[in-house]
Amino acid sequence: MTLEKQFDRVMEEAYYLAGKQVDYWANYFIRSLRQKGGLVTAKRMLVPQRGGTAQAGFQRLVDAGRPDLAIEHRVLEERFRTLFTPSELAEAQRRVDALPKHAIRKPVPPEANHPETLAETRTYEEGAVRRVLVSVYERDPAARSACLRKHGVLCAVCEMNFEERYGEIGEGFIHVHHKKPLAACRGDYQLNPEKDLVPVCPNCHAMLHTSDPPLSVEELKAAMDKRATD
Ligand SMILES: [Zn+2]
Ligand SMILES: [Zn+2]
């Protein structure tokens, strides 16, 4: 297989990975891949531009806590570097280097994992504002009821229903999880309770927060499916 064909394949894999893991199905991207191939698509995305679709896609992955899925990382792989010009490589590197530290996913140890009590007073070198906002969104009663009106009270990961499980006392009980932690730190962010919040049981909620930024609902479901078939 030629290097270019290998790159095509890696680009297509990147599309499906982002779709499956963070529910980002980049239509423009797959259309371009099929019409023009991976290399032309990547090169176009590496043209420096302000607020273009390439950056929007990159931002989408950053917001999902998965900048590692961005094609910039594939471009920078040692084996593919010869396919690109020095300025294309420099642009990819610039974008990767521009990521704030809090955008890069790191594990949260069990003793620090308290999704329901993300402390407002806790201070972080970076991301303090983000922490505060996330917990505010997850606790906001109006946002919560808008989310539950749309999605119901079943856990979006394991489908647990508290009333079914515990009877009357469980009626209406569920956590809501905010899916877009990093978007929250941008000044222009407007919460969309139907899209940005998701109902989850406390167990699944804690499992989503085993990473910071958190896992996506799709990733946690995939991990559970994998566990079930192991
Ligand atoms: Zn659950
Ligand atoms: Zn959460």
The verdict on 87 and 12 lying in the same domain is yes
Domain extent, residue 25, equals 3-99
Residue appearing with tokens 């192991």? 230
pLDDT of residue 17: 92
What is the pTM (predicted TM-score) of this model? 0.75
**Closest listed ligand to the CA of 153:** 1
The verdict on 36 and 67 lying in the same domain is yes
3-state secondary structure of 107: strand
Alpha carbon of 180 to ligand 2 centroid (Å): 10
Q: Which of 83, 99, 115 is the last residue of a domain?
A: 99
**Closest listed ligand to the CA of 116:** 2
Alpha carbon of residue 111 to chain centroid:
23
The verdict on 34 and 14 lying in the same domain is yes
Alpha carbon of 125 to ligand 2 centroid (Å): 21
- Of the pLDDT bands very low, low, confident and very high (cuts 50, 70, 90), residue 35 is very high
Alpha carbon of 158 to ligand 1 centroid (Å): 4
**Closest listed ligand to the CA of 208:** 2
Write out pLDDT tens, residues 191-223. 888 988 999 999 999 999 898 888 999 999 999
Decide if pLDDT at 187 tops 80.
no
The verdict on 113 and 90 lying in the same domain is no
Alpha carbon of 115 to ligand 2 centroid (Å): 5
The verdict on 23 and 62 lying in the same domain is yes
What CA–CA distance (Å, rounded) separates 230 from 226? Answer: 6
Write out pLDDT tens, residues 55-85. 788 888 887 888 889 999 999 999 999 999 9
**Closest listed ligand to the CA of 198:** 2
The verdict on 60 and 174 lying in the same domain is no
Contact call for residues 185 and 75 (beta carbons, < 8 A): no
Write out pLDDT tens, residues 91-135. 999 988 888 777 788 888 888 887 766 533 333 444 455 555 566
Residue 13, CA atoms < 13 Å, CB-side half-sphere? 9
pLDDT of residue 48: 84
**Closest listed ligand to the CA of 156:** 1
The verdict on 134 and 157 lying in the same domain is yes
The verdict on 125 and 212 lying in the same domain is yes
Question: Phi, psi (5° rounding) for residue 61?
Answer: -70, -35
Write out pLDDT tens, residues 135-181. 677 888 899 999 999 999 999 999 999 999 999 999 999 999 988 76
| Overall domain count for the chain | 2
The verdict on 123 and 225 lying in the same domain is yes
Mean pLDDT over 37-62 rounds to: 82
The verdict on 193 and 215 lying in the same domain is yes
Alpha carbon of 202 to ligand 2 centroid (Å): 9
The verdict on 86 and 122 lying in the same domain is no
6: exposed, middle or buried (C-beta count within 10 Å: 0-12, 13-18, 19+)? Answer: middle
> What HEC string does 122-190 produce?
CCCCCCHHHHHHHHHHHHCHHHHHHHHHHHCCCCCCCCCCHHHHHCHHHCCCCEEEECCCCHHHCCCCC
Q: Which of 40, 68, 99 is the last residue of a domain?
A: 99
The verdict on 221 and 116 lying in the same domain is yes
